[in-house]
Amino acid sequence: MLLVSYISENKAEVIEGLQKRHFENPVETIDKVLLLDESRRRAQKDRDDALAEANKSAKEIGMLMKSGQKEKAEAAKASAAENKQKAKDLSSTVAELEEELQNLLYQIPNIPHPSVIEGYSDEDNEVMYEKGDKPTLHSASKPHWDLIEKYDIIDFELGNKVAGAGFPFYKGKGARMQRALISFFLDEAVDAGYTEVQPPILINEASGYGTGQLPDKEGQMYYMPADDLYLIPTAEVPITNIFRGELLQEKDLPKKMAGHTPCFRREAGSWGAHVRGLNRLHQFDKVEIVEVQKAEDSAEAHERMVLHVEMLLQKLNLPYRRLRLCSGDLSFNANLCFDLEVYSAAQERWLEVSSISNFGNFQANRLKLRFRDNNKKTSLLHTLNGSALALPRVLAAILENNQTEKGILVPEVLQKYTGFDIID
C-alpha cells in the first residue's frame, strides 16, 4: 500500500507510474486520496480542538463552584458536554474517512521501478539474457504428458477422480522426484543463509490483506466460509505475515526465510497445450524464499535472490532465460520483478518457473512492518520474495529435456535424493 505522505509529496510521479501500469483513472483516484486525507486531518483537528475545549471547561467547573459562581459553572458543564458530544461525532467521522481512505488505497497498485519498461502483457516483457544449451532430442521424443503415462509416474485421471482436474497424483519415481526436488531446493536455500520454516497452508483474512492477496486476488483463492480461512496461493503469504505488526531492531536484520508448501490456485483453468499436463495446476508444490531488508539493502538483496534461483537451474542443467517484467505484467504488489523461464525441448517453448519480486515498502506499509535503527528512528522495511522453485514446470522440463531412448536421466544433483539415476 502506498504511503499517503509519499503520494502527497510525489503526486506527479505516482500518477505517471499508475499511467505506466495502465491503471484506470489515476488522476481522479489520486485526487480523491488527497481529498480524503485532507478531510480526515481536518476532522481530526476539529475533534482534538473540541476535546481540548471540553477539558478546559471541565477544569474550570470546580474552580467556579468553589468561588460560588454557579451559573458560570453550569455554563461550563454545558460547554464541556457539548464539546464532548462534538468530539464523539467527529471521531465517528474520522473513522469513516479513515476506512474510506484505506479501502481506496487497497485498490492502488505499487509504482513501477524506473527500470521497468511500459507494456501490456507478458508478450512485452524484456528478455535480458539466455543461458544454457537447448538439448537436441531423439526422433521419438515426447512431451511430458505422454512421458508420465509411459512411465506411470503421474496420474491425472486418478487425481480427477479423487479431487478434480488440476490435482494430479504423483506415483513411484514421480513422487520420489517431487521429494528430491523439494529437498534439493530447501538444502540449497539453507546453505544460502535462509532459515527454513514450515508454515501453515491456511491463512486468515488479516494475513491476506497484509501481503496484498486481498482484496486483489480474492477470486483466485480457495475460501472456506465456515472457518473464514483461505488456502494459500504461495508460501510468501504465511512466511511474510510472520512479521506483520512487528517492530524489528536494526541488529536483527536482515530476515531471510525459506519454506516448502503446497500452493492452491483457483484460476488454473483454460484450454490448450500451454496449460496441458504440468504446465498449469490447481495444486502444486513450491519452495519460496522471503527476505525482509532495509531500504538501502533491498536492491542488492533482490539481485542476489535472482542469482540464487539461477544457480538452482544451472545445477539442474536446465537452459533458462531471465526476463524483466513490463509494467502491464507486474503483480499488484511489485515495483520490480524478474521472471526465470526454462526451455522445454519437447514443447519447444519457454516455461515460467520463478518470479522474484521486490515490493519496496508497499507490503510493509500494509503489514505495519517497521524497524528501529540504532538512532531510535523508526522506518518501514522492504519485503522481497521469490520462487526457488515451483516444481511442476521444472519437473516437466527435466522429463522432456533428459529423455533418451532408454529412459529419462535424472539430474546428477538429484540422484543422492532419489536413489536412482534413470526413470525407465
Task: Determine, yes or no, domain membership for 117.
Answer: no
Predicted local distance difference test score (pLDDT) of residue 22: 97
Q: Same domain for 256 and 397?
A: yes
Last residue of a domain, one of 106, 137, 165: 106
Q: What is the pTM (predicted TM-score) of this model? A: 0.93
Predicted local distance difference test score (pLDDT) of residue 271: 47
Task: Determine, yes or no, domain membership for 116.
Answer: no
Q: Same domain for 324 and 257?
A: yes
Helices in 115-235 by DSSP H: which ranges? 144-150, 156-162, 173-191, 205-211
| CATH number, residue 183 | 3.30.930.10
Q: Same domain for 243 and 133?
A: yes
Q: Same domain for 239 and 328?
A: yes
Q: Same domain for 101 and 134?
A: no
Instruction: Give mean pLDDT, residues 245-261.
Output: 97
pLDDT digits (tens, 9 = 90+) for 169-209: 999 999 999 999 999 999 999 999 999 999 999 999 999 99
- For residue 268, pLDDT over 70 is answered with no
Q: Same domain for 81 and 184?
A: no
Q: In 10 A of CB 49, how many CB atoms?
A: 14
Quote the CA–CA distance of 393 and 308 in Å, as a whole number: 18
Helices in 156-263 by DSSP H: which ranges? 156-162, 173-191, 205-211, 236-240
pLDDT digits (tens, 9 = 90+) for 65-115: 878 888 888 788 888 899 899 999 999 999 999 999 999 999 999 999 999
Q: Same domain for 157 and 100?
A: no
Task: Determine, yes or no, domain membership for 291.
Answer: yes
Q: Mean pLDDT for the chain? A: 95
Q: Say which range, 259-273, 354-368, 400-414, has the weakest mean pLDDT.
A: 259-273
Q: Same domain for 218 and 345?
A: yes
Q: Same domain for 133 and 89?
A: no
Task: Determine, yes or no, domain membership for 314.
Answer: yes
Quote the CA–CA distance of 261 and 202 in Å, as a whole number: 11
Q: Same domain for 207 and 102?
A: no
pLDDT digits (tens, 9 = 90+) for 152-166: 999 999 999 999 999
Number of structural domains, the chain? Answer: 2
Domain carrying residue 10: 4-106
**Sign of the torsion formed by the C-alpha atoms of 89, 93, 95 and 96:** positive
Task: Determine, yes or no, domain membership for 113.
Answer: no
Q: Tell me the helix, strand and coil percentages in the chain, rounded to 5.
A: 50, 20, 30
Task: Determine, yes or no, domain membership for 112.
Answer: no
Q: Same domain for 353 and 287?
A: yes
pLDDT digits (tens, 9 = 90+) for 223-238: 999 999 999 999 999 9
Last residue of a domain, one of 106, 131, 160: 106
The pLDDT confidence band at residue 274, using thresholds 50, 70 and 90, is low
Last residue of a domain, one of 79, 106, 133: 106
- Which among 105, 140, 124 has a CA at the least distance from the CA of 6? 105
For 245, the 3-state DSSP assignment is coil
| CATH number, residue 46 | 1.10.287.40
Q: Which three cell numbers stand for residue 260?
A: 516448502
**Cα–Cα distance list, 103 to 106, 180, 216, 362 (Å):** 5, 44, 11, 15
Q: Same domain for 91 and 132?
A: no
